[in-house]
Structure 1
């Protein structure tokens, strides 16, 4: 791989991707800094080992997994740009083209700092879990979460890489059901035992990464990969506080739950783990902090990125770097030798049982430099050895029978210690000391302080098979009114209140109208969510009475068409109410409504509104007209007419005055008196 890595520098893959500098190497692949000559952007190019590149099943699986990973559009996921196979005279090269992250990996941060401050560890883990949550939602399992696959770039951005790569490698003909594939320091027990992996396997690995960030070391170390794998299957991950003081009990419990050997008791997926992490961080009052960016060890030697030409200077090469673990790393991880093999690798699963029986060989006894003993001395020594052997055999048999009897009678059982009133951390330590497993159940309590044991099941003094669970009911303090969203059903609200150890209550006077919440659905809780109450205290559930009554609008003076449109817009049903006189509005305009404007109508009752139009007659100006013409004009308006002459003698004089001023609105049939001079 080293010589071939040097040969690849300057190579153009499929006439597009130029390989420049090797920046990481593992057992299955090498990673190069390169250039997409078409888009003129730097990229990370992962070139697979030749053993994999020649495997058709691997290439098919790699293409499928690359497509799936490329669909993960998330700010905490390393982008996958392309995948392909470059056909060369010396063989095929399968490769992935990925987003280049200038910076380093979480492994570099751990090497530089050792254990991380708690706020920093949580700030790093949160985007890791966010990336895994996006993958799990897309039904994609990473299978190889480790610090080397967590990249930290400019601005402290955290990204997870190598999605789907282990699954692609596992599908190649070079592996089988009897082979363990992955990074043993972070493999879940089910991956070691059966090869099965799901979202909970990623949760386990992420929990181990959090353990290492908090303590500066993985939980299991060993001289061989199999010895580490064996411990994953047969040992419980200890609480981080056993290696580092000052870790809060809530964080201890979170790590222990995420790394349980039984997948069913871990958080169901990364989303659930992320929610629990945020809850713990909030309860501890820990705020996110800036994430330090590891210095890039290749940045100073990067080639200038410009389109490749014949007159370009040769790409500068960096000396090949040995013993890299898989992953798009940019610097060499310096793993302590005591941590055991850390890289992605394959191992025979059939070798695991032998680990349980393997014992380290003792040093050979020194040779006897004394003269050879006589035959008589040898016979006496042989007799003494036989007597000693029989004594040992009899002692072992007696001890074995006695030990077996003790084990069958009482040795298999452990007595549950006194736990009530103990802190959660202390109670867990007491159970571990007698080979029992704590199952934590939280419950509110009026008097018992937070994180103190209220009771246990079985109770203290009970005999329990070693390795069994003991339920620790731990106080969360005073219960809080739960968060119930507006629009929830009454049954759901009452259930949530009861689960919070409070008592739901109804009070019709608390109900109110709402334009958003449907009638009969929850409007609010009284007191509001987050309020601390005593156990069993009442919480009133206020329901919506539906849409509030709407007042009839004022539409007087509008035309009939405009008035009808406005009523319909507000949800009313307009209908013809006939005519009515109004001195304010001319004929044909709305005079009034029934019910009157401002009347509030309940949406559940009738929403009909009668619209009455004005029948007022506007008196025209008839002065200076001849009496007969003026009278005719008024009668055509529906008015009555009376003509008076100041000087009798003529029947058709000129109108000099009218009893109703021009423009006055009067009722139909009103008498208008016209005064003429003659």
Structure 2
């Protein structure tokens, strides 16, 4: 893709940012919203694969659902001349791999801060049932302010299908591959947790735990070799912090954290002095209780062991006259064998571990649960306290093993006890953009309500007030946070527009965020040249104000039929559509709005205009009344259509002076 190429009529390519196993990434400039973006183009050798294209489009659109300050936003997905592309937020900085190399050793608290940002982002993705599948430092960007942002949620699935043929991609990803993925199994949310554990290992040690000359050799180590100890690399690392690595990277998914949120909670207190004497994490030993089948050789050796003194019976040589005696001895031997086998089976049956069914103790207090377990020949084991929206404080949520499962008699049953609803601490969001503030709150499970309010001081889209004070803790299931957001209105000094063309005036209006209403009259000046304006040049107006400009229609024609053009105005009310995410339009090729405003284009068809060019473009933050001037020849009609964020919302193709 060459520089200055305009993709989709909107994104001007600036330079290449890098090449990957599936796509190439470019820096581009959004000509409509005047901002830098990154554009990801599907590689040329994959553009003829319809399955890959379908994955690219579907997963890219799914990624637009993930609105979070630590996830790279996806603005647009489209196609041009067979090129599949994805437009994303441009993050100026470096990836985590380069950050580790540049800043290692990294202070422990900074390591935790980075991981908490990453875990928060992955938690939101998992809440949407989106599994990343390819978490690695190369897919985590660190901007100039130290904020971590995860990318490539959109094409993680598609990449997994082509990974075996992309050697470089495999080598870059296999260091963070979970054991179940290395065996060819399906990736789950716990596979992401394993990758996060490897990333934490690399942040603490500056290197990956397993290395090898080939991707296969590294993959084998993931499901055969134990993760090296980070404390052997750096003895100053607290045991509690190493335990987070060990639990996240357990070989069996069942030994890992249940959720990313659980991992974040454990990581948050890993430097606490209260956990200084914590024991090293050890996964639960395998005990699958499978029935083992003995073959004949096993049975023979076992029988010999159980009855070493069994007398050997000599079978007489076959003689025709003694067949009855031989048959008697044969029946005796068979009888002994049956008795012996029955004895061995009885021994096995008597020696098997006795099992009981785990009772349901949810909703009971700890003491009540302990008593009920004891009544069922079970012991109460470790107690883990965790938040619960459904269970009151100090009541049992669940057990491990769960209710109605089988367990050995006198086994220890782990109790999960509620600490009550998860309370969320509200921060100070005043001055932040609504998009960032609402994403932060929604990531915590808080319901957010937006309320617009005009302001001459606060920038458009910034939070002016919040209904819950900074530092207050709330139950997100019961409390809604209302954010009051500025609708803007800055002031500017109006330029002298006379003598300028209509196109120049429209560009000026777009740049300064003002609205222009055009009128026409016959004049000696060239057609579509401004001959008057109101307010006049130098006037101070507010952003969003309307300026009336009179354009020359050119010299008046001599023919009477050509001069019978009626001028009139049509008033139209354009409805505002609240759009929290700023770019959640279902039309993938629509112009993305900035947070809290709609982008509107008006097209006019009359004596002086046609639908081929935009008559007026404006941004609105509330329902807005506009007056559209028409010049319609006698006996003819005009028309208009109004597009909001890429969709036609109003139109009329039979506009006359008396029709409105």
Whether these two folds match at TM > 0.5 is no
Give the TM-score, by structure 1 length. 0.41
TM-score (ref. length: structure 2): 0.42
